[in-house]
Structure 1
Amino acid sequence: MFKKYAARAGVVLGAVAMAAGATMGSASAAEGVGYIGTDTTSGSGVWCVQHLANDVARKAGRATVDEDGEWGPKTKAQVVWFQDRLGLKKDGIVGPETGDYLLYFGDQYYGGTGGYCNAKMPSDWRLGAMYVHTRLD
């Protein structure tokens, strides 16, 4: 009887460990992704920047840019605006810090810690559990 309960407990503990590992893995999935705006000028990463920045822009009453997956002057200007609102370096390049904030403040279906864009944008996801007061509030 003890073997039966021990086997069940092992299965349950294994499932819990796998679930915890999957959850923790998604939080750092974007580490090592190249910067967007210099290294990456088109593709799904650029679309994610456009989409998440547009979500923030709509909330702030600002015009949006086309979500075409192509980096251009309007997308760069949107990123500079976003960086300015957060007090970041206004270089128009999406590196880990800007990526963190876009994932944190943008559309959570695509951003957040496990959304589609998490693996497409540079981020080390330092902001996942903290509230940051900005001029976006």
Structure 2
Amino acid sequence: MRNRLVGGLVTAGIVLGAGLVTAPTASAQASQYCSYTNAEPTLGYNFTSSGDAVKQLQCELNAITYYPNASTPLSKDGYWGPATDGAVRKFQQCTGLQQDGVVGPQTWAKLDGWVVTHGWINC
């Protein structure tokens, strides 16, 4: 009787535990696509913006904004420069976000979603 009870509790725990596993977030999926980092700090000209987070941003922007016959893709050099700033502002404009050139939580979320679901942007 005790073994059945313990076995039943273990089985219930496994079944309930399996329900806690969720699908990867858009952020995680986009990070796997570009694979520079999972970190999504606030980026922009007025912030210290260099390194893997900027490379991740540049990679994701390239994934959605550049396709055959489009302008030159961003260099994934990890430095925030005029081209990265312009691409961010264009993305923000095309997706209805405030065009402030700051990549904060709203811009990251929208960008991650576009990378995972759309693959390109026509604006």
TM-score bracket for the superposition, by shorter chain length: 0.5 to 0.7
What TM-score comes out, normalization by structure 2 length? 0.67
Provide the residue aligned with 1:100 in structure 2: 109
Q: Displacement, 1:11? A: 4.2
- 1:19 maps to which residue? 21
Structure with larger Rg: 2
The unaligned stretches of length 5 or more in structure 2 are 29-38
The alpha-carbon deviation at position 87 of structure 1 amounts to 2.2
Which residue of structure 2 aligns with residue 10 of structure 1? 12
Quote the residue 2:34 is aligned against: none
SS at match of 2:21: helix
Who is 1:53 aligned against?
Answer: 61
Question: Within 2, Cα distance between the matches of 1:80 and 1:70?
Answer: 16
Separation (CA, whole Å) in 1 of partners of 2:97 and 2:48: 20
CA distance in 2 between partners of 1:69 and 1:27 (Å)? 22
Q: Which runs of 4+ in 1 moved over 6 A?
A: none
For this pair of structures, how many residues does the alignment match? 107
Residues 112-137 of structure 1: CA deviation (Å, up to 9, x unaligned): 8xxxxxxxxxxxxxxxxxx9xxx738
1:43 has 2:29 as partner: no
TM-score, length-normalised on structure 1? Answer: 0.61
Q: Percent identity?
A: 27
Quote how far apart the aligned CAs of 1:34 are: 3.3
